[in-house]
Structure 1
Amino acid sequence: MASEIQKNESAQVPSASAPLTQVNQYGDRSVHANHVENLSINVFENQGSPSVDENGTPYTPLTPTRYDPTTRVIYLGNEEITLPVQLIPQSALKTGELPYINALCEVYAEKINNIVTADTINSLPSRYRKDFANQRMAYYSAESVQRSVREVFADGEQQFKALKQDAFDGISDTYYDDRHASGYDRLRAVLDKITSTTLSKSTLINIAGLIGNLEKKGICHILVNDDVIKSWVNIDE
């Protein structure tokens, strides 16, 4: 909303016949009005341009902003920012995936009482192969956001770190609960918990539609890659 500042440029009290002159000022643009009696200046914050660092890179928004997942465009004031990274799971597993994938293999191995490795996942019963595909999709969705915000926002890395910490704070009690019968049960409980957890400590949440349930689940797997979550099965190791 506009804040109105009343000021008189003349030291003398304006005559009753002096008409009211109103000037609108937007953002930090200068207003020049010399020797104008009965002057009213309406000052509007500039909503059209995002806050930027010394290199012109915008900071994450402090107010609600829209994100279109179809076009991957963030509407930041009058600016449109396209997220540059969209990772798609490929059939070949990448080295960077192995920590969270190995943790999932441990879960499936306990469940079927047999050895499971990254190389033998395709031999799992169909329901576990489907579960694995869903977990990879979640991871890739979250990792796409993490890499994109690092590139497009001056504080993107910092804000995604805050998001991860907030997520872990929300799931830690569920993760450490010793009433889970198996690692699979712990994993399911944590993923259920994160989807109902409100994340609020990162300004990335101001970008409506950027962090959905799929990305929340993926953050749990990123926490495994970060070695914050050690194992779904042996949590005391």
Structure 2
Amino acid sequence: MVAKFASECEPPVAWSCPECGLFQLESGGRPFTAEEHAAVLTIAPQVTAERRITPAQRGQAATQAREILETFGSDIPVDVEGLAGRLGYPVSWRSLPRTTRGAVAGDAGHPVLVLNRNYPFHADVERRWAVAEELAHAVLGHGTLVASEEPGRTPVLLEPARQVREREAKAFAAELLMPAAKVRLAFQRQHPIILRALGSEERAQAARTVIADLAREFRVSQQAMRIRLTELGLLT
């Protein structure tokens, strides 16, 4: 989605998607009325067909993240904002709809990663993940679109292309913040804690301890680390 700003110091007045033709007026955070929703649908009919990201697309996104880390270095935890700046995508804080964590927008012809000053980021790890996702959209050539909304929120208008790109962005962000090779090495160091545990309850507690330790090391959420370890086949 492209954010349409009346000025840099004001919230966006509308959103548009060049690919799917969506044009959405900013509602100020309140739900659209039936009349407003009908009016928007006359401009951009709702698309219901679902597209899925293929393993090849996910692999390509992760590959690009690895190439960036190989080029600019990959100390853990990754300095994601510094890395974004070195790639030419500085981070800027602006007012966006409250449920939107971030976006990619143009600033005098130069792309910037926008974080929402109105979004209630609960922790530094959530902010880091949002930056990684926005960087993914920029690097993967997704254009200027809103990348990450509040979990569980259903967009007013479905955008199949956006759904695919969201999954690509998550694959990129996971590899950028939790490089597979380094996660495997870190897990190998911690794995004896799980192996020494006796009984299912003790093993479950040991796994939680390992996840928490690795999450702190990589500066990601415990949920993100658990998902990453599962994706890599290190946890079942």
Normalising by structure 1, report the TM-score: 0.30
Normalising by structure 2, report the TM-score: 0.30
The structure where helix makes up a greater share of residues is 2
Higher CA-based Rg: 1
